[in-house]
Amino acid sequence: MMNVLQLRFLPLWILLCLGSGVLQAHHGWAWLDEDEFELTGTVTGVSLGNPHGEVTLDANGEQWVVEVGQPWRNERAGLTAELLSEGRTITATGHRSEQSGERIMKAERVIIDGRNYDLYPDRL
């Protein structure tokens, strides 16, 4: 039989368990299409930080969210906030969401001004 303390925290425990599945489904590589994908666009928004950075691109009038690396991964690749600033044109290569109509991709490489910034060199 559960005691009063266990009953008080049961809803929180259930939410954590359910929520971790949602988070796990998005992080990593399992949510992505296996085909390589390339996207070029103009940066319209940037949010760098943990668990990973996101860059919003305008690509032919469509808004795409491009996941870049964690702060340490971006730094290792030489990818700085200045390089990802609004108004810059970048090309991202990697994998897009396998969900039809979802405009999200995870970048393995970002190309800016002809220079490669390899976020996941072991996957290229």
pLDDT at 19: 47
pTM: 0.75
Is 70 contained in some domain? yes
Does a structural domain hold residue 116? Answer: yes
Distance separating alpha carbons of residues 38 and 40, to the nearest angstrom: 7
State mean pLDDT over 96-106.
94
Total domains in the chain come to 1
User: Is 14 inside any structural domain?
Assistant: no
Is residue 46 included in any domain, yes or no? Answer: yes
Residue 55 inside a domain? The answer is: yes
At residue 101's C-alpha, the angle toward residues 97 and 107, to 5°, is 30
102 is a domain residue: yes
Give domain status of residue 42, yes or no.
Answer: yes
pLDDT at 50 over 80: yes
Domain that holds residue 47: 37-123
For residues 15 and 22, what is the distance between their CA atoms, to the nearest angstrom? Answer: 11
Mean pLDDT on 35-48: 97
In a domain, 28, yes or no: no
Residue 17 CB contacts under 8 Å (≥ 6 apart), including other chains: none
List, for residues 20-30, the tens digit of each pLDDT value: 444 444 557 78
CATH number at residue 64: 2.40.50.1010
